[in-house]
Amino acid sequence: MRNRLVLIAALALGACGSGPPKLSVEKGYIRLGAAPRLPAVAYFTIHGGTADTALIAVSSEVSIKNELHQSMQSGGMASMKPLGDVPIPAGATVAFAPGGKHLMLFDMNPGIKPGRVVTLTFTFANNQRILFDAPTIAAGAPAPAF
C-alpha cells in the first residue's frame, strides 16, 4: 500500500512539470548604443505556445521607433534588413541573437544607462501581449549569462 502511494505521488508530481507549451519570452537584454545617437539592440528568446502565431511588433516607452531586423553576410560584407512578422511555430524556440534576428531601438532616451531595466512589450498575431523586463548593458560589455 505504501509503495502504491509513493508511485501515485511521483506520477502526480511528474505531471505538474509538464503541460502544454506556453508562449513566452526569456533571456532578453538590451545592448545600448556606443554613442547616445546610435540605436540600441535587443536580443531575446521566444518559446512558441500551443498554436502557431507570429511576432508582429516589440515596443518600448524609452525609444521612439523599434524595428525587427535580420543580420546577413553576403560576399564578405555584413548587412541587415528589416523583417516583417516573424513566425513563431507552436512549441518551437526562436532566438533573436547577435549575428541573426534582433530588435533595433532607435532614439533611445539618453537617460537610460547600463544596469537599468527596460520593459519591452511583445505583440503577437494571436492578440497576445507579453511584457518583459530587459536589463541594459553597455555597448562593449559581455552578454549576460543566463
Strand (E) positions, 1-146? 24-31, 40-47, 53-60, 65-74, 77-82, 86-88, 93-96, 101-106, 117-124, 129-137
pLDDT the model gives residue 111: 93
Grid cell listed for 37 = 545617437
pLDDT the model gives residue 36: 81
Task: Indicate whether 8 pLDDT > 60.
Answer: no
The answer to whether the CB of 88 falls within 8 A of the CB of 94 is yes
Which parts of the chain fold into alpha helices (H)?
2-17
Task: Indicate whether 39 pLDDT > 90.
Answer: yes
pLDDT the model gives residue 86: 97
Cβ-count burial of 108 within 10 angstroms (0-12 exposed, 13-18 middle, 19+ buried)? buried
Q: Give me the phi and psi of 127, to 5 degrees please.
A: 70, 15
